[in-house]
Amino acid sequence: MDNGAESYRRFLQNDDTAFVEIIRDYKDGLILYLNGFVNNILTAEELTEDVFFKLVTKKPRFNEKSSFKTWLYTIGRNTAVDYLRRNSKQKEVSAEEIREIEDERLSLEQSYIKQEKLLYIHRTLEKLKPEYKQVLWLVYFEDFSQKETAKIMKKSVHSVETLVYRARLALKAELEKGGFIYEDI
């Protein structure tokens, strides 16, 4: 049983400190993952709060068929997809809000991604197709296995393998456009 699963089990037995552990361990990564869907760090933070709110109010059953993190990110993905369905029409955002959102996003990224090369790679990921960005994020930044990634993305393992291969080629091409030597990764 991984630490998240153990914390969740304790939370279900009314140990509130266990829920604080879950938030501490998974909040930042989940925010950045959901930001890949909505491209708005403030919305991603709200969606992350929604995920944790669902855990508190609905107390969904964790069946341990995957890791706790995979299960939590699947809930996050479903929450983001529901949000995008509900808000399919674009709304206008002021230039000041864009600056605030961008400042907040950069601040969070810099605290989460410490090394300069990883920061450059992360920014380059923004240029990729959303599906490529998502699969690379899950596999390389969140350390999910391809099987876990397939479950989160609702694809077959073979599809994820192919997607990772194509996404890496696209990332390499983008990095080389910027003068970055791919083999340095």
Q: How confident is the model at residue 174 (pLDDT cuts 50, 70, 90)?
A: confident
Identify the pLDDT of residue 107: 67
Give 70-96 pLDDT, tens digit per residue: 999 999 999 999 999 888 765 655 667
pTM for this structure? 0.61
Identify the pLDDT of residue 50: 96
Identify the pLDDT of residue 106: 66
Identify the pLDDT of residue 76: 93
CA angle 14, 63, 135 (to 5 degrees): 110
User: Which is more confident, 84 or 2?
Assistant: 84
Give 27-53 pLDDT, tens digit per residue: 999 999 999 889 888 999 999 999 999
Identify the pLDDT of residue 1: 45
Give 119-169 pLDDT, tens digit per residue: 677 778 888 999 999 998 898 888 899 999 999 999 999 999 999 999 999
Identify the pLDDT of residue 63: 84
Task: Sketch out the chain's domains with CATH numbers.
Answer: 1-112 (1.10.1740.10), 116-185 (1.10.10.10)
